[in-house]
Amino acid sequence: MTEPAKPLNFIEQIIKKDLEEKRVNKVVTRFPPEPNGYLHIGHAKSICLNFGLAETFGGDCHLRFDDTNPVKEDMEYVEAIKRDVQWLGFQWAGEVRYASNYFDTLYEWALHLIRAGKAYVCDLNADEAREYRGTLTEPGRPSPYRERSVDENLALFEAMRAGECEEGSRSLRAKIDMASGNINLRDPVLYRIRKQHHHQTGDRWCIYPSYDFAHGQGDAIEGITHSVCTLEFADHQPLYNWFIENLPVPAKPRQYEFGRLNLNYTITSKRKLKQLVDEGFVDGWDDPRMPTIAGFRRRGYTPASLRRFCEMIGVTRSDGVVDVGMLEHAIRDDLDKNAPRAMCVLSPLKVVLTNYPEGQTESLTVPGSPNREDLPDRTLPFGREIYIDRDDFREEANKKYKRLVLGKRVRLRGAYVIEADEVVKGDDGEIALVKARYIEGTLGENPEDGIKPKGVIQWVAAHEHARFEVRLYERLFNDPEPDAGDKHFLDSINPESLTVVPDCLGEIGLNNADVGAGYQFERIGYFCRDSRAENLVFNQTISLKDSFNK
């Protein structure tokens, strides 16, 4: 066992004690998503926790799909989840597991409960069952079918299994306590009739176990030692334990709850995320504005930044809201240290260096990154005509403006100092061209006349460059609590969350950028090459500095 160097969170403390006192010999955890949507940032915390616990204590972590509801599930989600887990840097022990692998066993265990007088077939429909269930302040009422005989329940359950009953007409329920203060113990449903094709079992079944019935039993079958879940399942723990105590399970796992990840300016409801996709508010589950792991990946977030973020927020026993700025800090910190640099102009403005020989070009060499000596140098073509960003030039400006101004100087990043002399305007009155001079002998040196440039700006050569589209992103929601209280989250969508900038120019090497490769576009922000666009497109990962609250 490898002891962690950092202070132990409360779950690690429990596991350490269990190992020391020989309650368990080997730690086995699991990540058990339902394949009914793409994973979001909250799942990233659960992935890092469950796989991290296994790594820390030399154990195993299983990937198990709790696939009990074929109505909402799809193989697209299965494959996406597998991809996300591996992208984050984790590998599950053994084969991928499915709750559906255990359907035969679960069916036999349902029969076991019926024979023991602890389960019955109920003919109440969903609305009637809800009425009989009671409320938080009023006890439930027994179903009129609660006292059916064992033989009748066995026969009816077999009829359900054989497809002889219509959907919604019957269910199998555990017989526990309709007066319990915990609503989850008021005769919960074990099986529902769903005549749906299942992505793993095909048409073999027309009844499917409930999540609560399958989940804990899957843990027991797999020998999970520590079943770690978020706090909303705390009220389900008595039911989890009731099943374990009343079924012939091969092991007795224990459930532990931790505070889920809640981010401001973000929603993590799969149902609401699916609505954003289905109604076209975003361009798919992997839209870079989505809080899905796939969305973060497409936007240029790195696995290391998400793992670091999950480490920063820690593992606690209570829920809370985390400032999304902490997540943004994690990615900025990672990319600042590791991303190669490149130059880009979002709004190109041509500059002609009138004293640079026509037809002459040269190649300049600049570092790949000031922080990474292992990154290769970049070669930049330079010539008489260049492009700068339109925002980096003014005819007149005050002393605070540290860019190019008529009659003033500025340094081109990695190149010469230039001085602006004249502007040429089009018929619309807009500046079409800037005429300037380059100051000889200033490649890596200050001007000999002692007149230093006021600032440094990026540029690209007019004769050799990359041309591409840039997509600038802001937060998808402009409300820190978009779905709090009686708010409708769609009312908080930021109409300026995406700005498409066509015909941007960048240094020539960007033509060879790998899909998903990230860069710092100097003085602009961090960007990555889009993984879905057919043409050359760069998505903004994050700005250089957080100006959201300024």
CB 65 within 8 A of CB 35: yes
Q: What is the DSSP string of 241-259?
A: HHHHHHS--S---EEEEEP
Looking at 118, 260, 274, 402, which residue is catalytic? 260
Q: Is the dihedral of CA 401, 404, 405, 409 positive or negative?
A: positive
Check if 298 is active-site. no
Check if 270 is active-site. yes
Looking at 133, 148, 270, 529, which residue is catalytic? 270
Alpha-carbon Rg for the chain in angstroms: 31
* Phi, psi (deg, nearest 5) at residue 236: -85, -10
CB 446 within 8 A of CB 452: yes
Q: What is the 3-state secondary structure (H, E, C) of 174-228?
A: ECCCCCCCCHHHCCCEEEEECCCCECCCECCCCEEECHHHHHHHHHHHHCCCEEE
- Phi/psi region, residue 113 (left: phi>0; alpha: psi -120 to 50; beta: rest), is alpha
Looking at 12, 30, 34, 170, which residue is catalytic? 34
Cross-strand pairs, 539: 471, 528
Other beta carbons less than 10 A from residue 365's beta carbon: 9
Distance CA(113)–CA(122), nearest Å, equals: 14
Distance CA(227)–CA(253), nearest Å, equals: 7
313 contacts: CB under 8 Å, gap ≥ 6:
45, 261, 322, 326
Which of the residues are catalytic? Answer: 34, 260, 270
